[in-house]
Amino acid sequence: MNEDRPRNAILNWLDSLKIFGGDPRSRKEIKHILREAEGRQLVDSDALSIMEGAIQVADMQVREIMIPRSQMVCVRIDQKPKDYLPSIIESAHSRFPVLAESDDEVVGILLAKDLLPLVLEQNTDSFRLKDILRPVTFVPESKRLNVLLKEFRATRNHMAIVIDEYGSIAGLVTIEDVLEQIVGDIEDEHDVDDEDTSIKQVDNDTYMVKALTSIDDFNETFGTQFEALEFDTIGGIVVDQFGRLPECEETIDIGQHTFKVVNGNSRQIHLLQVTPKTDLSEED
């Protein structure tokens, strides 16, 4: 019940927006009203950031935040504990997709806590992985994050496998990934400052890049030659090119790439979609 309080507070707040200038007709107008409310010190900056994030998830799709298939840590149904325990311990995740013989067949989700009985087992060879698997949920890449969050809460699932238009595994998404779009990064005792996670490849030409990605790391991945003179992050370069803080969904061409602001708030941008420019005609 407690987890409903922040959501109810947001809904109550949105219901009362009319006192700040009439009924908003778009999400952009709602954001404008919220920022006016912050200016009047009716809400603080942290509350504004959360409310803007709650609104923004309705415009975002699973493909924009999912963990790509190449970065998934999986277990195979026919493996013995001695084969998969090292990778589980090293990754320190709490949930793992379990694959059948085919790499595109996920038969269930393994919760790390369900392996605790192994501590008391004298003979782990008799332990059957299929006996402790949880059901797996599949979602398309195009599913909206607000819909996914509602489904996560209704089913009490915390992880879903993302499939592409051909039914193949594209990646995975967790409830934590969705919540981070609303409240910002959620770090636990197992999180490390791994720069590799700042850039995620969605498909052959599309990448999701955290705005705080260092310029050196961006250059290394994309073969660009941005200089870290005035700015240390790719987000700083993007904001500088706009000449202002851009709104979500705005795009700009910089060099040979197009940058789209996927997530951000009234103070900073958080997530960028980077693709090659559609028009790569030679420049003088």
Closest by Cα among 8, 28, 217 to 16: 8
Cα 95 → chain centroid: 16
The continuous run of DSSP H or E covering 63 comes out as none
Q: Note the pLDDT tens digit of each residue in 144-200.
A: 999 999 999 999 889 999 999 888 999 999 999 998 888 876 654 334 444 456 888
Kindly report the pTM of this predicted structure: 0.66
Order across the sheet with 159-163: list the strands: 67-68, 169-174, 159-163, 138-140
Rounded to an integer, what distance in angstroms lies between the CA atom of residue 95 and that of residue 93?
6
Residue 110 has what pLDDT?
A: 93
What is the rounded average pLDDT of the residues 93-119?
Answer: 88
The predicted structure's pLDDT at residue 247: 84
For each of the domains in the chain, give its residue range(s) and CATH number, in order of start.
Answer: 4-59 (no CATH), 65-189 (3.10.580.10), 197-278 (3.30.465.10)
Cα four-point dihedral sign 260, 262, 264, 268: negative
Closest CA to 97 of 83, 82, 108: 108
Average pLDDT, the chain: 81
Q: Is 53 helix (H, G, I), strand (E, B) or coil?
A: helix
In contact, 39 and 48? CB cutoff 8 Å: no
Instruction: Using a pLDDT cut of 90, give the percent of the chain over it.
Output: 33
Q: Which amino acid appears at position 117 of this protein?
A: P
Using DSSP, state whether 159 is helix, strand or coil: strand
Residue 231: name the closest of 273, 266, 268, 258 by CA. 268
Is 70 exceeded by the pLDDT of residue 61?
yes
Higher pLDDT, 29 or 111: 111
**Where do the H-state alpha helices sit in 57-96?**
81-91
Handedness of CA 217, 219, 222, 226 (dihedral sign): positive
Residue 152: CA atoms inside 13 Å, Cβ hemisphere, count?
Answer: 20
Interval 219-224 mean pLDDT: 92
pLDDT at 18: 47
